Amino acid sequence: MIKDIAVHLTGSDEDVTRLAHASALARALDAHLTGLQVHEMPEVLTITDPTGSSYLQQLIAESVEQSLAVTRRLVPMFAATGINHELRRLDLFPGQIGTTLASEVRLSDLFVGTRPYGDPLRQHRIEEAVLFESGRPCLFVPPAHKAAPYASVLVAWKNTREAAVALAAALPLLRQASEVCVAVIEEGGASEQRGVAAGDDIGRYLSRHGINAEIRLVAGWTDTAAAILNEAEKSAADLVVLGAYGHSRLREWALGGVTREVLSRSPVPVLTAR
């Protein structure tokens, strides 16, 4: 079930896009909407005592006023949705944002943000931190993407933990879709050669959840991300469901190649989880 949706807000023009998608989902799923307004504090304040400098005091005042101006714009936007909601302002220094936002998201069922590598403020590491550290599924929306019902959904499937987590998270949306296509990604040789009926298991799993899905075998591609995006285009998908692959290096999250490419290039929202 998806009963609490958190949406990332930054004061950029993309707030309108993110809020439109989040509120449409909250309305369709009868969910509560939590706005997480991230106010990035001037980094100089972390290394300087602001009480002894009129310049720093002015900097603080300007920063607070900017944040309040964003809040004043957001309050009527949230009220106009008619949805049960709350708006939280998080005053954070740059190095705190990803981890703190991930912590805030843990008691939500879904996070909505601009896709990594698409945010106009170039804050892709924040979205990555939420994806990898929150433990919650994330819906990443392309910049300026118009919100509409996710009537056609493409599920990119491999029998992996990450894909299973993303699929389970997407079930409420799949039930509401009019068309669900599962693209079974073939790697390591054709399934016929291994005596495997590709897609049978996932087809049965979805049918037990009341979801009638078309199963497509996707084989022969050397570029898996291109294969997924090709299937999304062929099926006129409004949403792609994809497991998130990646690793940690020197405490910095890095998305795997397929996940990164799909998120970078997908013209439609991507629901992903890890």
Q: Is the pLDDT of residue 189 over 70?
A: no
The rounded Cα 47 to chain-centroid distance in angstroms is 33
- Element (H or E) spanning 35, and its range? strand 32-40
Instruction: Give start and end residues of each alpha helix (H) in the chain.
Output: 14-29, 54-81, 97-105, 124-133, 161-176, 200-208, 224-234, 257-265
DSSP 27: H
- Among 4, 240, 250, 6, smallest CA distance to 142 is for 240
Q: What percent of the chain has pLDDT over 70?
A: 85
> Which residues are CB-contacts of 188 (< 8 A; sequence separation ≥ 6)?
none
Least confident of 200-214, 224-238, 252-266: 252-266
Phi-psi domain of 52 (left: phi exceeds 0; alpha: psi -120 through 50; beta: other): alpha
Strands 138-141 and 239-243: unpaired
The overall average pLDDT reported for the chain is 86
* Dist CA 58 CA 179 (whole Å): 55
**pLDDT tens-digit readout, 155-164:** 999 888 999 9
Average pLDDT over residues 23-46: 89
Domain covering 4-141, topology: Rossmann fold (3.40.50)
Q: What is the pLDDT of residue 234?
A: 94
Least confident of 54-63, 177-186, 198-207, 247-256: 247-256
Q: What is the pLDDT of residue 104?
A: 96
Average pLDDT over residues 96-124: 83
Q: What pTM value is reported for the model?
A: 0.88
Cβ atoms 203, 216 nearer than 8 A: no
B/e letters for 171-189, b = 16+ CB within 10 Å, e = fewer, are: bbbbeebeebbbbbbbeee
Q: Is the pLDDT of residue 190 over 70?
A: no
Cβ atoms 53, 26 nearer than 8 A: no
Q: Which of these CATH numbers, 3.30.2290.10, 3.40.190.10, 3.40.50.620, 3.50.50.60, describes 152-273?
A: 3.40.50.620
**pLDDT tens-digit readout, 145-156:** 999 999 999 999
- Among 153, 165, 268, smallest CA distance to 213 is for 153
| Single-letter amino acid code for the residue at 218 | V
**pLDDT tens-digit readout, 10-25:** 998 899 999 999 999 9
The domain spans of the chain are: 4-141, 152-273
Strands 239-243 and 246-249: unpaired
Q: Is the pLDDT of residue 181 over 60?
A: yes
User: Predicted confidence band at 187 (pLDDT cuts at 50, 70, 90)?
Assistant: low
Cβ atoms 40, 122 nearer than 8 A: no
* Dist CA 265 CA 115 (whole Å): 10
Cβ atoms 270, 263 nearer than 8 A: yes
In angstroms, the first-to-last Cα distance of the chain is 17
* Dist CA 253 CA 255 (whole Å): 7
Q: What is the pLDDT of residue 116?
A: 76
Q: Is the pLDDT of residue 125 over 80?
A: no
Q: Is the pLDDT of residue 165 over 70?
A: yes
Domains 4-141 and 152-273 fall in the same CATH topology: yes
**pLDDT tens-digit readout, 64-78:** 888 899 999 999 999
User: Predicted confidence band at 251 (pLDDT cuts at 50, 70, 90)?
Assistant: very low
Q: Is the pLDDT of residue 259 over 50?
A: yes
Q: Is the pLDDT of residue 193 over 50?
A: no
